[in-house]
Amino acid sequence: VETYRVRVTRKHPLAPGVMEIGLERPSDFQMQAGQKIRFHHRGLARDYTLINAPDEDQLVICAIQVPQGNFSPGLMQSPLGTVYEISKPFGYFTFQVSVRTAVFLATGTGIAPFVAFVRAGVRDFILLQGARSDEHLYYWSEMMAAARTYVPCLTRTAEDLQLVPETFQGRVTGYLETRLPVAGYDFYLCGSGAMVDAATRIIDRRFAGSLVYGESFF
Ligand SMILES: Cc1cc2nc3c(=O)[nH]c(=O)nc-3n(C[C@H](O)[C@H](O)[C@H](O)COP(=O)(O)OP(=O)(O)OC[C@H]3O[C@@H](n4cnc5c(N)ncnc54)[C@H](O)[C@@H]3O)c2cc1C
């Protein structure tokens, strides 16, 4: 397996327990928006989706600290300059040009590939971004500016609805089930496996003629 050794170059908090982490970009690193890298660390292998534009001079990930996790707490606490071993970029969760409207569904850090898509120039999509509360709607203003339709979906109560306009109260799958106009779409689902599975079942029932791409983080 070919790997690179890269230094942590930047750390930028996005929300409690969530951080944007910059990594040196190896000189021969060729990537497509939506691809991920694998960290190899003390016998563990953990994948992270890159959010930087394909031609940026650093690599960037958006990482959440999983309490009691084996890898993510150390990553979050790593000082600048810490060296990690990473794989080449890989994976096929990339944007496919289509005659159908693209609908992106993201929960939590599952927004990552869609940030990469937007930074690679993808526009005119519908985005349903799910989170507990609006402080976890990472990148919402950048996403809202690029989307044809941006729908934040919050599972907590109305007190949280301060920052982001036009919020749907409920899960992304609730919006899919009750609000998204029936049509054939290209769906891109990213986040928990539970969301990807639940959304796929709703699409199979309600959105004939659609295509589904999925990426489960856990
Ligand atoms: C293709 C792919 C892309 C990924 N991209 C990202 C990314 O861009 N950003 C990111 O933060 N993570 C991402 N992950 C998840 C990441 O690889 C690790 O699973 C995560 O960091 C936890 O590792 P850990 O060793 O700390 O936890 P572990 O000791 O492995 O504990 C794992 C448990 O933590 C929970 N968990 C794992 N990931 C998450 C998460 N993202 N949000 C909430 N709960 C979680 C699950 O319940 C899981 O059972 C991705 C995973 C895959 C498979």
What is the DSSP annotation of 53-105? Answer: -TT-SEEEEEEE--TT-SSHHHHHHPPTT-EEEEEPPB--------SSEEEEE
Whether 46 is in the pocket of ligand 1, judged by its Cβ within 6 Å, is yes
User: Is the CB of 61 inside a 6 Å radius of any atom of ligand 1?
Assistant: yes
Give the Å distance between the CA of 8 and the centre of ligand 1: 19
**Unique residue bearing structure tokens 């044809």:** 148
Name residue, tokens 């979906």. 153
Mean pLDDT of 178-202: 98
Please give the pLDDT value at position 167.
Answer: 87
- Written as six digits, the tokens of 139 are 């990148």
> In this structure, is the dihedral angle defined by the CA atoms of residues 184, 164, 140 and 45, taken in order, positive or negative?
negative
Residue 97 has what DSSP assignment? -
Q: How many CB atoms lie within 10 A of CB 192?
A: 17
Give the model's confidence band at 1: pLDDT under 50 very low, under 70 low, under 90 confident, else very high. Answer: low
Pocket test for ligand 1, best of 48, 66, 115 (most atoms within 8 A of CB): 66
- Whether residue 160 is predicted with pLDDT greater than 90 in this model: the reply is no
How many angstroms does the Cα of residue 218 sit away from the middle of ligand 1?
Answer: 6
Distance CA 67, CA 159 (A): 26
Per cent of the chain over pLDDT 90 is 93
CA nearest to 115, candidates 54, 199, 38: 54
Mutating to test ligand 1, I would choose from 18, 40, 46, 92 the residue with most ligand atoms within 8 A of its C-beta, which is 46
Is the C-beta atom of 108 inside 6 A of ligand 1? yes
Structure tokens, 50: 């890159």
Greatest Cα-to-Cα distance within the chain, rounded to the nearest angstrom: 50
What pairs with residue 59 in β-bridges? 23
Distance CA 35, CA 208 (A): 28
Q: Which of 101, 34, 48 is nearest to 76 (CA)?
A: 48
User: Of all protein residues, whose CA lies closest to atom 51 belonging to ligand 1?
Assistant: 217
Query: Taking 60 as the threshold, does the pLDDT of residue 30 lie above it?
Result: yes
Compute the average pLDDT of residues 144-173: 84
pTM above 0.85, yes or no: yes
66 lines ligand 1 (CB under 6 A): yes
Mean pLDDT of the chain: 96
Give distance in angstroms: CA of 64 to centre of ligand 1: 8
Matching residue, tokens 């939506």: 34
73 alpha carbon – ligand 1 mean position (Å)? 11
Question: What is the mean predicted confidence (pLDDT) over 71-98?
Answer: 98
Measured in Å, residue 182 CA sits from the centre of ligand 1 at 32
Q: Read off the DSSP letter of residue 158.
A: G
